[in-house]
Amino acid sequence: MSTLWKSRYAQRTLGIKSSAIRELLKVTQKPEIISFGGGLPAPDVFPVERFEEACHKVLCEHGAQALQYGTTEGYQPLREMIAQNMARYGIVAKAENVLLTSGSQQALDLIGKLLVNRGDRVVVEAPTYLGALQAFNVYGAQYVPVPVDNDGLLTERLEASLRTGPKFMYVLPNFQNPAGVTLSEGRRHELILLADKYGIPIVEDDPYGQLRYEGEHIPPLVVLDRENLRRDNGFTLGNVVYLSTFSKTLAPGIRLAWIVAPEDVISKLVQLKQAADLHTSTFNQYVAYEVAREGFLDRHVKLIRQVYRERRDTMLQALHDYFPPEVTWTHPKGGLFLWVTMPEGTDSEALFRAALAENVAFVPGDSFYANNDHEGGRHMRLNFSHSHPDQIREGIRRLSIAVKMQLHAHNRLAIVDH
Among residue numbers 91 through 110, which ones bind a copy of itself (CB under 8 A)? 102-103, 105-106, 109
Task: Tell me: does residue 235 bind a copy of itself (CB under 8 A).
Answer: yes
Coil, strand or helix: which one is 343? Answer: coil
* Candidate list 24, 154, 276, 307; residue touching a copy of itself; CB under 8 A: 276
Largest CA distance in the chain: 75
* Candidate list 34, 78, 91, 116; residue touching a copy of itself; CB under 8 A: 116
Q: Which is nearer to a copy of itself, 57 or 397 (CB)?
A: 57
Distance CA 111, CA 368 (A): 19
Distance CA 158, CA 188 (A): 12
* Candidate list 277, 298, 373, 390; residue touching a copy of itself; CB under 8 A: 277
Question: Which residue, 312, 301, 327, is CA-closest to 246?
Answer: 301
Task: Tell me: does residue 178 bind a copy of itself (CB under 8 A).
Answer: no
Task: Tell me: does residue 307 bind a copy of itself (CB under 8 A).
Answer: no
Q: Which is nearer to a copy of itself, 196 or 310 (CB)?
A: 196
Q: Which is nearer to a copy of itself, 40 or 350 (CB)?
A: 40
For the segment 138-157, give every residue that binds a copy of itself (CB under 8 A). 138-139
The torsion angles phi and psi of 341, rounded to 5 degrees, stand at -115, 125
Task: Tell me: does residue 353 bind a copy of itself (CB under 8 A).
Answer: no
**Cβ pair 168, 143 in contact under 8 A:** no
Task: Tell me: does residue 207 bind a copy of itself (CB under 8 A).
Answer: no
Q: Which is nearer to a copy of itself, 63 or 147 (CB)?
A: 63
Task: Tell me: does residue 114 bind a copy of itself (CB under 8 A).
Answer: yes
Long-range residue pairs from 157-163, CB within 8 A, at least 24 positions apart, any chain = 158/123, 158/190, 158/191, 158/194, 159/194, 159/198, 161/123, 162/123, 162/194, 162/195, 162/197, 162/198, 162/200, 163/198
**What letter would DSSP give residue 338?**
E
∠ CA 217-218-220, nearest 5°, is 120
Residues 6 or more apart whose CB falls under 8 angstroms from that of 104 comprise: 131, 205, 207, 243, 244, 245, 247, 257
**Count, residues near a copy of itself per rule CB under 8 A:** 91
Alpha carbon distance, N-terminus to C-terminus of the chain: 55
Question: Which residue, 145, 92, 95, is CA-closest to 122?
Answer: 145
Task: Tell me: does residue 309 bind a copy of itself (CB under 8 A).
Answer: no
| CB 175 to a copy of itself: min, Å | 18
Q: Which is nearer to a copy of itself, 186 or 253 (CB)?
A: 253
Q: Is the peptide bond before 389 cis (omega within 30 degrees of 0)?
A: no
For the segment 16-55, give every residue that binds a copy of itself (CB under 8 A). 16-18, 38-41, 43-44, 46, 48-49, 51-52, 55
Q: Which is nearer to a copy of itself, 301 or 350 (CB)?
A: 301
The dihedral formed by the CA atoms of 11, 13, 19 and 20, expressed in degrees to the nearest 10: -60
Number of alpha carbons in the 13 Å side-chain half-sphere of residue 218: 23
* Candidate list 77, 90, 131, 389; residue touching a copy of itself; CB under 8 A: 131
* Candidate list 90, 219, 262, 389; residue touching a copy of itself; CB under 8 A: 262
Q: Which is nearer to a copy of itself, 88 or 117 (CB)?
A: 117
* Candidate list 199, 215, 295, 325; residue touching a copy of itself; CB under 8 A: 199
**Strand-strand pairing, 98-101 and 257-260:** antiparallel
For the segment 356-415, give every residue that binds a copy of itself (CB under 8 A). none
Interface mask toward a copy of itself for 58-77; x: CB under 8 A: -xx--xxxxxxxx-------
**What letter would DSSP give residue 167?**
S
Task: Tell me: does residue 253 bind a copy of itself (CB under 8 A).
Answer: yes
Please give the helix or strand (H or E) that residue 219 lies within, else none.
none
* Candidate list 23, 264, 294, 417; residue touching a copy of itself; CB under 8 A: 264
Cα 51 → chain centroid: 24
* Candidate list 229, 316, 327, 360; residue touching a copy of itself; CB under 8 A: 229
Q: Which is nearer to a copy of itself, 277 or 390 (CB)?
A: 277
